[in-house]
A and B are shown apart, each in its own frame.
Chain A
Amino acid sequence: MYSEKVMDHFTNPRNVGEIEEADGTGTVGNPECGDIMKLTLKVENDVIKDVKFKTFGCGAAIATSSMVTELVQGKNLNEVEGISNNTVAEALDGLPPVKMHCSNLAADALHAAIDDYKKNHSKE
């Protein structure tokens, strides 16, 4: 059902965890839907120095979370602006159609974390 890449990220997820005193945090989804992602960022001079995730969800949810962290690690915030849920799915060689929406929230979590960072940053 899942591509090899999805299974790879599912079995060996990258960047699992939570950054303490994160510069930005994004949480999307809710338990009723069966998918929740929490993504935390460390940002220095607009560059993503570290990124970690925690996900409650199916194989696709875990794999997309892992993939998005890999896509943005070390990148400038400008570079990751265009990353969408589709970008993440494509990087995983696709997801089963039924999973394209419900379990493909990783980019949403990323942008929520960046928004949070910008909000915190502008206060300083």
Chain B
Amino acid sequence: MKQIYFDHNATTPVAPEVFEAMLPYLKDEWGNPSSIHWAGRAPKKAMEEARDMICEFLNCSPVELIFTGNGTESDNLAIKGTALSKKKKGNHIITTRVEHPAVLNTCKYLEKEGFEVTYLGVDKEGIIDIEELKAAITDKTILITVMYANNETGVLMPIKEIGEIAKEKRITFHTDAIQAAGKIPLDTKELNCDLISISAHKFYGPKGVGALYVKRGARVVPLLHGGHHERNRRGGTENVAGIVGFAKAAELAIRDMEAEGKRLALLRSRLEEGLLERTPHTLLNGHKTNRIPNTTNISFEFIEGESLLLNLDMLGVAASSGSACTSGSLEASHVLIAMGLVPEQYHGSVRFSLGKLSTEEDVDYIIEKLPPIVERTRSMSPLWDAEKGTGAEIEFSAKSCLK
């Protein structure tokens, strides 16, 4: 069977160059980089070189980079670490309703610990209102955390503008740039951020390694107390092979990002136009231009996303959905709800995230196969009136959702 992978925002395949670069540190160079003897020398050198490469990727200095275990840890370290280091100055945090759970649930945890959190809404295109952000700032505000690219829609937040406001008010500014890294340039000198989270496996690096950029002068209290690793900011023997792979992925991203971004943007347009033209009652979710080039989120109204994903999977196509049924938690997409979509729309959303594996042939295959699936699934839906080709009128029981 065909295998078509359109879920690069979930994870990406490890690039062959990354795999090759990692191998020596899983095999012969197994030493602990903290050791002063012969066994530690090569791993230590490899790690320093890797750190330099990732600093080139972010345009920052080696002292400004902390390696972590993944993107979630980077977000936790940024948010909890700042909250703890600045708790004497204030207890107010500003974020948005569309963040990744790694940010949202960290903020919710801090609320239980006595911090106050403002969750900014977004407009129908998925972007926050800068004036609303300004109005939310109080003299107790210690941290603003707003994602760069949204994982579900790919929509970009106005990070530079937020950073300028934060700088002026002396508020620490963190951005979760995990979906942006490797897809668009991340230049710390331009972004006005104090803290930036990134993760290797989202751009052809290995799983199990991430990083947090911490601007000189910003202070985060460690989550993991231990040895002197990462300048006492993250205890634990380093994942040397993972870090080396991370650096190779960064190197490839520096080389390929621009050309690959253009290629993916064209493929995405082809996919969007193909699907929207062939299927009525279909909706593109998120800002049309202000987004990373690989992601599209489309709602097929009056049907449920998991049914579509199952049908696509049977054809070998991997994608994801914001429907409640696919979430594991049985909650529908908080991102699409925040954007004002109604249930008939958000349950029928499908995210296609393109990447190195995606070809024009794949796109055309989906354009050919998906519309008949949508039509068949709609013909089974009580929300769809096939004769009129529109939504059906139906009365519901008032029963609340069973979970």
Taking a contact as CB atoms under 8 Å apart, the answer to whether B304 and A13 are in contact is: no
Contact in complex: B343, A31 (CB < 8 Å): yes
A28 x B380 contact (CB < 8 A): no
By a CB distance below 8 angstroms, the chain B residues around A38 are 382, 394
The verdict on A16 contacting B397 (CB below 8 Å), with A34-B323, A101-B403 known, is no
**Shortest distance in angstroms between B387's beta carbon and chain A's nearest beta carbon?**
11
Given contacts A34-B323, A38-B382, contact A56 B304 (CB under 8 A): yes
Q: Are A58 and B304 in contact (CB under 8 A)?
A: yes
A62 and B343 in contact, given A33-B401, A55-B381, A56-B383 (Cβ under 8 angstroms): no
Cα distance A28–B154 in the bound complex, in angstroms:
35
A59-B310, A62-B307 known; A102+B381 contact, CB < 8 A: no
Residues in B whose Cβ lies below 8 Å from that of A34 = 304, 323-325, 332, 343, 347, 401
A29 touching B383, Cβ below 8 Å:
no
Determine if B324 and A33 form an interchain contact, defined as CB atoms under 8 angstroms apart: yes
CA distance A99 to B325 in the complex (A): 8
Instruction: Return the chain B residue nearest A18 by Cβ.
Output: B382
Interchain CB contact under 8 A, A102 and B402: yes
Inter-chain contacts of A11 with B (CB < 8 A): 314
* B303 close to chain A: CB less than 8 A: yes
List of A residues within 8 angstroms of B347 by Cβ: 31, 34, 56
Residue of A30, A31, A37 ringed by the most chain B CB atoms within 10 A = A31
Please classify how large the interface on chain B is, using the bins under 10, 10 to 19, 20 to 34, 35 or more. 20 to 34
Alpha-carbon separation in the docked complex, A27 to B382 (Å): 9
- Min distance, Cβ B88 to any Cβ of chain A, angstroms: 43
Query: Chain A contact residues: over half helix, strand or loop, or mixed?
Result: mixed
Nearest opposing residue in chain B for A101, CB measure: B402
Q: How long is the Cα–Cα vector from A96 to B382 in the complex, in angstroms? A: 24
Task: Select one of A13, A58, A60, A112 contacting B380, CB under 8 A.
Answer: A13
**Scoring A residues 22 to 49 as 1 if CB is less than 8 Å from chain B, else 0, what string do you get?**
0000011111111111100000000000
Instruction: Tell which of B314, B330, B344 touches A31, judged by Cβ atoms closer than 8 Å.
Output: B344
Whether B379 is near chain A, meaning CB under 8 Å from some CB there, is yes
A92 at the binding interface (Cβ < 8 Å): no
How many Å from the CB of A17 to the closest CB on chain B? Answer: 9
User: Do A32 and B401 have beta carbons less than 8 Å apart?
Assistant: yes
Q: Contacts A27-B396, A29-B397 hold; do A54 and B403 have CB atoms under 8 A apart?
A: no
A103 contacts partner chain B, Cβ-Cβ < 8 Å: yes
Q: Closest approach, in angstroms, between the C-beta of B312 and any C-beta of chain A?
A: 12
Report if A107 contacts B (CB, 8 A).
no
Instruction: Tell me if B213 counts as interface (CB < 8 A to partner A).
Output: no
Task: Count residues of chain A with CB under 8 A from any CB of chain B.
Answer: 35
Overall SS of chain B's interface: loop
Residues of A near B398 (CB, < 8 A) are 30
CB distance from B120 to the nearest CB of A (A): 24
Q: Judge if A61 is at the interface, Cβ distance under 8 Å.
A: yes
B325 touches A57 (CB 8 A): yes
Contact of A30 among B303, B328, B399 (CB under 8 A): B399
B302 within 8 A of A: yes
* Most A Cβ at <10 Å: residue of B330, B343, B382, B394: B382
> In angstroms, how far is the closest chain B Cβ from the Cβ of A37?
7
- In contact, A30 and B344 (Cβ under 8 angstroms): no
* Residue numbers in B under 8 Å from A2 (CB-CB): 310
Given contacts A57-B325, A59-B306, A98-B328, contact A28 B383 (CB under 8 A): no
| Contact code string B286-310 (vs A, CB < 8 Å = 1, else 0) | 0000000000000000111011001
Residues of chain A with a CB closer than 8 A to B326's CB? 58
For B190, list chain A residues within 8 Å (CB): none
Does A10 belong to the interface (CB within 8 Å)? yes
- A10 to B330: give the CA distance in the assembly, Å: 20
Known: A38-B382, A54-B382, A56-B381. A31 touches B396 (CB 8 A): yes
Contact across chains for A56 and B396 when beta carbons are under 8 A apart:
no
Are A54 and B343 in touch, CB under 8 angstroms?
no
Contacts of B323 in A (CB 8 A): 34, 58
- B28 touches A (CB below 8 Å): no
B139 within 8 A of partner (CB): no
Instruction: Name 14 A/B residue pairs within 8 A (Cβ), A-sorted.
Output: A7-B310, A10-B307, A27-B397, A28-B397, A29-B399, A30-B397, A30-B399, A31-B342, A33-B402, A34-B324, A34-B325, A35-B325, A59-B325, A99-B325
Extra 17 A-B pairs, beta carbons < 8 Å, given A31-B347, A55-B382: A7-B310, A11-B314, A28-B397, A29-B397, A30-B343, A30-B397, A31-B342, A31-B343, A31-B344, A33-B401, A34-B304, A34-B323, A55-B380, A56-B383, A57-B304, A58-B307, A62-B380
9 cross-chain pairs, A with B, having the tightest CB-CB distances, nearest first: A33-B401, A58-B325, A58-B306, A31-B343, A30-B396, A38-B382, A54-B382, A101-B402, A34-B324
